[in-house]
C-alpha cells in the first residue's frame, strides 16, 4: 500500500559541473529541476574554470550550493582529477543525493561520475554517447566520456547516432533516452534575448551592419591542437586577414588557457583586420555567431550552435564526434593545416553557390526540449 510519506518523497539531484560549456548546457537542466516539485535540486561546481564559469552562472542566475574553487593556473590533468575526487567525496557524503547529473566530457565529468560510483550514487550522463572512436581525438575528452558511460545509470543521448554508439558498447537500451542536446535548449533561451549594446556597437563599428565588411568568427582551444596545430590555425587567420584586407573582420575571443593565449597573441596581436577579444559572455557570443558570415572553430558546442543557426562552420579538427552537423551540410572538417584552412575559407567567401549550399539551419541536435525529457527520465527511473 502506498504511504503518504512515499508520495511526498522528493528525488535529490546534485548537478555537478565545472567549465563554461558544461554550465551553458546544464543551465536549462538546472532551471527545469528547480521548477519540478518532485525534485530537490542542488548544484555543485568544481570551478575547473573560474572566470569563464562565473560568466555563465551570472547569466542564468544560478547560485551554486557548493563551490569547490579548484582551478589553478595551467593545471595538469592528473592534479585536477585528484583534486576533484578528493574534494567531491565529502560533498557526496554530506549532500546524500539520489542522483548526480554530469554533462559532456571534461575532467570534471569523468572524476565526478567516478566519485559518485564509488559512493553508490546514481549517475545521469547528459550528452552521452558522442564518439570519434579515436582515444586521442579529442584529447582527453574521448576517454572522459567513455569513463562517464561505464559509470552512468541513465544515458541522455542527444541523437539516435549517439544512442547507437552506446548500444554498440553494450549499454542496456532501457537505460538510454534520446533527449536532444541541451545546447539547443540554451541557444533558444539566449537567442530570445536582444543583442547586448556592446555587440551591436562592435558590429556597427566593424562595418558589418552596413555590409561594407563581412565577419569571420574564430574560436580554438583544444589540447590536441596545442603546439604546431594552433600555430597553423593562427597563420591561416593571418593569411586570410592579409588576403581580404578591408573587406573582412576576423574576430577571435581567446580562451584563457595559457597554451592558447601565448601563440595567439604572438602571431595575431596587432594584425590588421583581426580583433582579439577576451572570452565573451554567452549572449554576446551567440549574437556574434548570428552576425558572422563564417565560423572557424575547434569547439564542440559551437558545432551544435552553428548547425542550429545555419552558419557555415569550418571545423579545425581531423575528426568530429558531431557528424550530424557534417551530414546536415553546415559543418565541414578541414583539419589544422594553414593552406587547407585558407583554401576552404576562401572558397566559401568567394563562391556564393558553395556558401549557400552550407548556409541553412538544421536541427539534428534537438528541438530545445531536452532538459524536460532529462528531468522526466530521472523521475521515471525504475531500478
Ligand atoms: C576544458 C576541458 C575541455 C573543454 C574546455 C571548454 C578538460 C580536460 N578540458 O579545457 O574539454 O572543451 O574546458 O572551454 O576537462 N583558465 C583560466 N580561467 C578560466 C578557465 C581556464 O584562467 O576561467 C586557464 C587556467 O590557466 C587553467 C587553464 O586555462 O588552468 C586550463 O583549464 P582546463 O579546464 O584544465 O582546460 P581547458 O583547456 O579550459
Ligand atoms: N562560448 C562563449 N564565449 C566565448 C566562446 C564560446 O560563451 O567567448 C560558448 C559557445 O557559444 C558554446 C560554449 O561556449 O556554447 C563552447 O565552449 P568551448 O568552445 O570552450 O568548449 P567545448 O564546447 O569545445 O567543450
270 lines ligand 1 (CB under 6 A): no
Tens-place pLDDT, residues 133-187: 999 999 999 999 999 999 999 999 999 999 999 999 999 999 999 999 999 999 9
Tens-place pLDDT, residues 30-68: 999 999 999 999 999 999 999 999 999 999 999 999 999
Task: Label residue 2 by pLDDT band (50, 70, 90).
Answer: very low
**Whether 221 is catalytic:** yes
Determine contact, residues 48/76, Cβ cutoff 8 Å.
no
Distance in Å, CA 301 to ligand 2 centroid = 6
**Whether 223 is catalytic:** yes
Tens-place pLDDT, residues 319-370: 999 999 999 999 999 999 999 999 999 999 999 999 999 999 889 999 999 9
Which cell numbers hold the place of 314?
569550418
| Residue 143, number of CB atoms within 10 A of its CB | 14
143 lines ligand 1 (CB under 6 A): no
**Whether 255 is catalytic:** yes
Tens-place pLDDT, residues 182-210: 999 999 999 999 999 999 999 999 999 99
| Atom 1 of ligand 2, residue of closest alpha carbon | 282
H/E stretch holding 160 reads: helix 160-168
As a whole-number percent, the residues of the chain with pLDDT over 90 amount to 97
pTM for this prediction: 0.97
What values do phi and psi take at 207, rounded to 5?
85, 20
What values do phi and psi take at 360, rounded to 5?
-145, 135
d(CA 273, CA 267) in angstroms, rounded, equals 13
H/E stretch holding 66 reads: strand 66-67
| Atom 7 of ligand 2, residue of closest alpha carbon | 282
**Whether 214 is catalytic:** no
Determine contact, residues 281/257, Cβ cutoff 8 Å.
no
**Ligand 2 pocket at CB < 6 A:** 20-21, 24, 219, 221, 253, 279-280, 282, 285, 299-302, 305
235 lines ligand 1 (CB under 6 A): no
Distance in Å, CA 353 to ligand 2 centroid = 29
Task: Label residue 212 by pLDDT band (50, 70, 90).
Answer: very high
Task: Label residue 8 by pLDDT band (50, 70, 90).
Answer: low
Tens-place pLDDT, residues 254-288: 999 999 999 999 999 999 999 999 999 999 999 99
Residue of 141, 304, 305, 321 marked catalytic: 141
Res 3: pLDDT: 52
Bridge partners of 249, per DSSP, are 215
State the average pLDDT over residues 10-25: 98
As a whole-number percent, the residues of the chain with pLDDT over 70 amount to 98
> Which sign does the torsion angle of CA 277, 283, 289, 292 carry?
negative
Ligand whose nearest atom lies closest to the CA of 111: 1
Amino acid at each position: 500500500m502506498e504511504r503518504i510519506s512515499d508520495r511526498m518523497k522528493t528525488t535529490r539531484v546534485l548537478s555537478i559541473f565545472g567549465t563554461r560549456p558544461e554550465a551553458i548546457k546544464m543551465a536549462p537542466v538546472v532551471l527545469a529541476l528547480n521548477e519540478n516539485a518532485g525534485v530537490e535540486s542542488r548544484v555543485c561546481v568544481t570551478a575547473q574554470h573560474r572566470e569563464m564559469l562565473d560568466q555563465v552562472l551570472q547569466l542564468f542566475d544560478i547560485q551554486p550550493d557548493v563551490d569547490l574553487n579548484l582551478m589553478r593556473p595551467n593545471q595538469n590533468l592528473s592534479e585536477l582529477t585528484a583534486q576533484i575526487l578528493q574534494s567531491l567525496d565529502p560533498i557526496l557524503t554530506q549532500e546524500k543525493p539520489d542522483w548526480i547529473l554530469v554533462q559532456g566530457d571534461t575532467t570534471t565529468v569523468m572524476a565526478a561520475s567516478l566519485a559518485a560510483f564509488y559512493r553508490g550514487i546514481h549517475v545521469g550522463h547528459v550528452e552521452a554517447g558522442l564518439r570519434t572512436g579515436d582515444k586521442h581525438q579529442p584529447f582527453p575528452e574521448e576517454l572522459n566520456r567513455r569513463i562517464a558511460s561505464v559509470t552512468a545509470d541513465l544515458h541522455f543521448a542527444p541523437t539516435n547516432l549517439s544512442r547507437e554508439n552506446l548500444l554498440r558498447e553494450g549499454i542496456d537500451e532501457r537505460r538510454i533516452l534520446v533527449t536532444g542536446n541541451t545546447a539547443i535548449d540554451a541557444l533558444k533561451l539566449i537567442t530570445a534575448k536582444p543583442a547586448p549594446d556592446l555587440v551591436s556597437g562592435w558590429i556597427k563599428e566593424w562595418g558589418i551592419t552596413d555590409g561594407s565588411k563581412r565577419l569571420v568568427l574564430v574560436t580554438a582551444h583544444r589540447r590536441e591542437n596545442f603546439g604546431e596545430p594552433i600555430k597553423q590555425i593562427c597563420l591561416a587567420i593571418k593569411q586570410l586577414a592579409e588576403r581580404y584586407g578591408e573587406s573582412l573582420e576576423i574576430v577571435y575571443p581567446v580562451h584563457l588557457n595559457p597554451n592558447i593565449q601565448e601563440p595567439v597573441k604572438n602571431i595575431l596581436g596587432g594584425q590588421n583586420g583581426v580583433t582579439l577579444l577576451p572570452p565573451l559572455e554567452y549572449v554576446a557570443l551567440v549574437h556574434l555567431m548570428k552576425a558572422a558570415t563564417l565560423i572557424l572553430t575547434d569547439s564542440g558546442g559551437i558545432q551544435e550552435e552553428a548547425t542550429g543557426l545555419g552558419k557555415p562552420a569550418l571545423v579545425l579538427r581531423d575528426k568530429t564526434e558531431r557528424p550530424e552537423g557534417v551530414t546536415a551540410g553546415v559543418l565541414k572538417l578541414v583539419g589544422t593545416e594553414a593552406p587547407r584552412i585558407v583554401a576552404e575559407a576562401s572558397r566559401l567567401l568567394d563562391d556564393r553557390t558553395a556558401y549557400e549550399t552550407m548556409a541553412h539551419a538544421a536541427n539534428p541536435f534537438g528541438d530545445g526540449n531536452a532538459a524536460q525529457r532529462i528531468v522526466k527520465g530521472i523521475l521515471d527511473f525504475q531500478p
